[in-house]
Amino acid sequence: MMANLLVKETNRAAEFPEKERRGSFQKNLPQQPNHNDHKDGKKLMDKEMVIQALKDSFIKLDPRKMVKNPIMFVVEIGFIITLILSFAPNAFGNSGVEPWFNYTVSLILLFTVLFANFAEAIAEGRGKAQADSLKKSKQEITANLLKGNGKTEKISSTSLKKGDVVMVSQGEMIPGDGEVIEGLASVDESAITGESAPVIKEAGGDFNSVTGGTRVVSDQIKVRITSNSGESFLDRMISLVEGAERQKTPNEIALNTVLTSLTLIFMIVVVTLPFFTNYLGFALEIPILIALLVCLIPTTIGGLLSAIGIAGMDRVTQFNVLAMSGKAVEAAGDINTIILDKTGTITFGNRMASNFIPVSDASQEELHYWTGISSLNDETPEGRSTIELLKEKGSKLNASEAAGGQIIEFKAETRMSGMDLRDGRRVRKGAVDSVKDWVIAQGGTIPADLDEEANEIAREGGTPLAVAVDSRIFGLIYLKDTVKPGMKERFDQLRQMGIKTIMATGDNPLTAATIAKEAGVDEFIAECKPEDKIEVIKYEQSQGKLVAMTGDGTNDAPALAQADVGLAMNSGTTAAKEAANMVDLDSNPTKIIEVVSIGKQLLMTRGALTTFSIANDIAKYFAIIPAMFMLAIPEMTALNIMGLSTPLSAILSALIFNAIIIPMLIPLAMKGIAYKPMSSNALLSRNLTIYGLGGVLVPFIGIKLIDMAVSLFI
């Protein structure tokens, strides 16, 4: 099916030019300011968080916890050995090192481990602080359960089951996750989203999903509960944001394996080194060997790796996006293709009726009449706007004609809605092509001017809906939508990241082409059905690409599950939120663009600090290796290019720098590397220059300054 879809309908211009449903627009667009500076309502660290993190740093010294970080576990073992030597200098044989040196090395190693633990604890603390705030919102609520006889019964929210229907009035808390099935109300969601302004929740629209623990501030709504007690969105959110026991991402596991392998190699080198020095006629003391090992292994990134991963998820959370796993955030950084819905994402989504255009010999009065019949029970924003426009034009709505008729709900497959009246007549409203096919199936004919009028609406960027009764089409409803300002610049930003954008819409090809050109997307899919999205995702993935998409409806759920990164709207259906691996609490579909930036920022931060960590080992080698050998091998003095005072001061200076660089980099690990859209080659060159070269130069300067201070005391 995908081959047919691509060849016949959707493929890119380079491969299948001039196709009807999928077009390509690539333009040189102006630069967009960096969207990396997203909102962050909390300070990087506050007093309570720091105090708790300090306590956790000591708790994490438990070897059962430390063994999960092999690099820092090796440092802790080194601390234990030097601590023993501090009180029993000859515990492992005769020691030629002065006791004070053992004390000093032991203390430095302890602080190295504590600083690494502190980095992880402070990252975890931010998630726990948010979880504590959410727990305050979670409370037992009295629910007004609607019984079969139409009366309500007050019960505890913990007794509610999936499928129960409750009434929630002004000032009351919504007792559980659900969907509004009747009414309209303003809801305060600040407990969940942090946004103080209430949002409108209404039946029949895209914004019918409500979350337990939020408060109705006006009017009354009837809600169908969609989750059992203990399985609500708030429960899941608390467990996710407070979970220090997180799953490591594949990239993190791979990097951890490489770092552990390097540590093992250096351990073998250090353990075998005394055999060579004994052959040369001098011995290396155990504290010096431990100092060498700690300086050789990548302790900087080893101490910060876990904190970087936790902070990456926290940055997404601070942006009011709930990531179900670190893998989802990481995958966002590698996205190649983004599929976005037109309505509500690229355009404002408030498609409002702006005109009625009769066709053939139909009159305005006839079109108004049947449009009203088709829209009386249409609770969508488009349906309500149609009724409002009819009232403005002075048309009278014949509710009695529609009374007792069978309502035909809109379906993505048919792309029509309407009503079957009691007298047998059938009224339909929907996409022009769908209505044409339906009328032909009834034995009717298509008005000669229908396509011309529909195309004119489409060329103006509007959406035409045809209105028909049985075998006759009476005219068109002109729905008008507007592209959000700044979308061109946003898509240009994605293009600079090497990401292709595909707009999916149910509109006809002319409307889709007009909107796509105005918005600046790379490609579009017109007359898109739910299965088309899945096929396009599978096609892109078959080309070795990672795909992201946004959605909020039940019909989006399969595609959200298929995508590598699925961002569901908090206002969307339960099915969509369960299928996705991210949920946007603000229900802003364009946020996928910022999510990609945060994912790239996570990968960049990890890569940059790994580069810095390995690079600064070079300076530590020039400090500690000459210091170890230059007394026995005077020629090694030539390698003391930093001019360090004494062998002992050089070793201590390297160890001290190795310890203090970890807390100095904590803010960078927490905040992340500033990300600017650029090519992979440019990004690599930039990181190598800043963090590679910087990782070499900074330790040279730092170790020399520390040596000047240390030499005053020894």
Q: How far is CA 420 from the centre of its chain?
A: 44
Q: 415: annotated binding-site residue?
A: yes
Q: 451: annotated binding-site residue?
A: no
Token representation of residue 602? 């996570």
Q: Quick one: CA dihedral 44, 48, 54, 60, positive or negative?
A: negative
Q: 401: annotated binding-site residue?
A: no
Could you tell me if 108 and 652 are in contact, meaning their C-beta atoms sit under 8 angstroms apart? yes
Q: 516: annotated binding-site residue?
A: no
Could you tell me if 449 and 360 are in contact, meaning their C-beta atoms sit under 8 angstroms apart? yes
Query: How many other CB atoms are there within 10 angstroms of residue 644's CB atom?
Result: 27
Q: What is the DSSP string of 534-559?
A: HHHHHHHHHTT--EEEEE-SGGGHHH
Q: 245: annotated binding-site residue?
A: no
Among candidates 269, 206, 250, 202, which has minimal Cα distance to 621? 269
Could you tell me if 198 and 187 are in contact, meaning their C-beta atoms sit under 8 angstroms apart? yes
Q: 382: annotated binding-site residue?
A: yes
Token representation of residue 29? 């667009």
Token representation of residue 508? 């006809």
Which residues belong to the active site?
Answer: 341
Q: 429: annotated binding-site residue?
A: yes
Among candidates 258, 293, 259, which has minimal Cα distance to 273? 293
Q: 417: annotated binding-site residue?
A: yes
Instruction: Return d(Cα 659, Cα 651) in angstroms, integer.
Output: 13
Among candidates 288, 294, 285, 289, which has minimal Cα distance to 91? 285
Residue indicated by tokens 């996750």: 177
613 burial (CB, 10 Å; 0-12 / 13-18 / 19+) is buried
Could you tell me if 522 and 538 are in contact, meaning their C-beta atoms sit under 8 angstroms apart? no
Q: How many CA atoms lie within 13 A of 25 on its CB side?
A: 20
Amino acid at 504: A
Q: 115: annotated binding-site residue?
A: no
Residue indicated by tokens 């298929």: 562
Q: 378: annotated binding-site residue?
A: yes
Q: How many CA atoms lie within 13 A of 596 on its CB side?
A: 32
Instruction: Return d(Cα 5, Cα 502) in angstroms, integer.
Output: 14
Binding site, residues?
378, 382, 410-417, 429, 552, 556
Q: Show binding-site residues for Mg(2+).
A: 552, 556
Residue list, annotated binding site for ATP: 378, 382, 410-417, 429
